[in-house]
Amino acid sequence: MKIVQKILNDYLGKIIDISAMVIMTVLVSVVFIGICFRYFLDLPLAWSNELSQFLLVWLTFFGAAAATRRAKHLSIDDIFNALGPKTQDIVKRMINALICLFLIFMAIRGLSMARTVWSSKSEALQVSNGLLYLPLSVGFFLMLPYNLYNVFAGKEWSDQE
């Protein structure tokens, strides 16, 4: 279990975090550059709007994976917290097992969706529209190991920063 924890925390976790940070940074820069070009140079950049939309989708799902790793997803814990430790353990395992099923199912459907639209190109950037659907699957596959870990470990995964 130790080694799994190390991989999830030190390797996969770092990859997720760094990706989210990079996307966030690029996103701010792209929108800000777009504004500067429009107002100061009177040159609207068609690609900046489109790129920021692509990046927002990527940010959403990488950020969601980072949230899974930190157990930060929005939830209502009051009733769960009132349960006894034994019941909590069982409930936690069941919840995570359900989440795993959901993630696997949606990720696979998302991949096939991405493949369907892969050949169509976006207007300004001329990149594949599949890149809009890919992050959903990528994000879900990145969350999966953490939820799977919780099924076996029984307690909520929490990041040790």
* Near another protein by CB under 8 A: residue from 12, 24, 97, 125: 24
Instruction: Mention every residue, 6+ apart, whose C-beta is less than 8 A from residue 132.
Output: 54, 57, 117
Does residue number 142 form part of the binding site for another protein (CB under 8 A)?
Answer: no
**Plot region of 154 (φ>0 → left; ψ -120 to 50 → alpha; else → beta):** left
Count of beta carbons in the 10 Å neighbourhood of residue 15: 13
Count of beta carbons in the 10 Å neighbourhood of residue 133: 21
Please say whether the beta carbons of 137 and 60 come within 8 A: no
Instruction: Mention every residue, 6+ apart, whose C-beta is less than 8 A from residue 38.
Output: 44, 45
Residue 3 or 76 with smaller CB distance to another protein: 76
The token duo for 59 is: 């940010």
Q: Which of residues 42-101 bind another protein (CB under 8 A)?
A: 49, 52-54, 56-57, 59-64, 66-67, 70, 72-80, 91-92, 95, 98-99
Residue 5 or 49 with smaller CB distance to another protein: 49
* Near another protein by CB under 8 A: residue from 136, 138, 142, 148: 136
Does residue number 157 form part of the binding site for another protein (CB under 8 A)?
Answer: no
Per CB under 8 A, residues contacting another protein are 17, 20-21, 23-25, 27-28, 31-32, 35, 39, 49, 52-54, 56-57, 59-64, 66-67, 70, 72-80, 91-92, 95, 98-99, 102, 105-106, 109-110, 113, 116, 132-133, 136
